Amino acid sequence: MRRQIITFGVFILIISFLLVGCTKYKLSITDLEWQPYLKGDILVFQSNMSEIDTVYITEINTYSNAEDHLAISSDHHETLFVSGLVTLARPKKDHLGNYYYKGGIKLLSMYADDDSHIEFELNKIGDSLRYASAKYTINEITKYYEESSKIDFNNIEDVVSMETSITYKIDYDLKNIWWSKEYGYVRYEYKNNYYWELKKFIRNGEDILK
């Protein structure tokens, strides 16, 4: 019996040591200031070809993920993902012959760390265009935001322009985004001078751009 008690005590000490050795990284209030959306927000964009896209923010999810899933003791990092649905310019047909009028869209993600990261990953999943993202640490984007010239966009005075990341020499279609800390994406530009601009930001039934 005494040996069992000692063995159990050693086991508890080991587990306690492992748990104490883990760091749990969480997104701070300062980090989250870069995430302007709420679930239920509706964003209406218009292109320079007079097309209309309506984006519905349906998911803002956070998870705590292990840095090493195979390790007994591993640091955990909080991650956040913002996604939703977007109206399709052309309805699509599924394998049963039914038409659907909305497709998925990714907007941004965040990753907690000593210096947390944010990725502006605008991506309309249902279309055939190629999307690059713009990824920064919070310190990098804060410095860039403070040092960049602001664009006065429809009386929104905190807008900055960011080029998307170019990797593997792929000719991406999405080239540039305009971002506001208060309203998020206000404009995004593709190659060939094709762009979309935010016309309405509807929250709780009201257009907060007015």
- For 85-126, what is each residue's pLDDT tens digit? 998 766 777 777 787 778 899 999 999 998 899 999 999 887
Give the count of domains, the chain.
1
Q: By residue range, what is the domain housing residue 155?
A: 23-207
Per the prediction, the chain carries an average pLDDT of: 83
Q: What is the pLDDT of residues 140-180, one digit of tens each?
A: 999 999 999 999 898 898 999 998 875 556 678 889 999 99
Q: Does 59 fall in a domain?
A: yes
Q: Does 14 fall in a domain?
A: no
Q: Does 133 fall in a domain?
A: yes
Average pLDDT over residues 42-52: 94
Q: Does 52 fall in a domain?
A: yes
Task: Name the CA dihedral angle for 158, 178, 126, 206, rounded to a multiple of 10 degrees.
Answer: 30
Residue 74 has pLDDT above 70, yes or no: no
Paired strand residues for 46: 52, 197
Is residue 199 within 8 Å of residue 43, measured between CB atoms?
A: no
Q: Does 2 fall in a domain?
A: no
Q: Does 143 fall in a domain?
A: yes
| Cα angle value 187/208/206 (rounded, 5°) | 125
Average pLDDT over residues 9-33: 65
pLDDT of residue 133: 87
Q: Does 15 fall in a domain?
A: no
Q: What is the pLDDT of residues 115-141, one digit of tens each?
A: 899 999 999 887 777 888 889 999 999
Q: Does 3 fall in a domain?
A: no
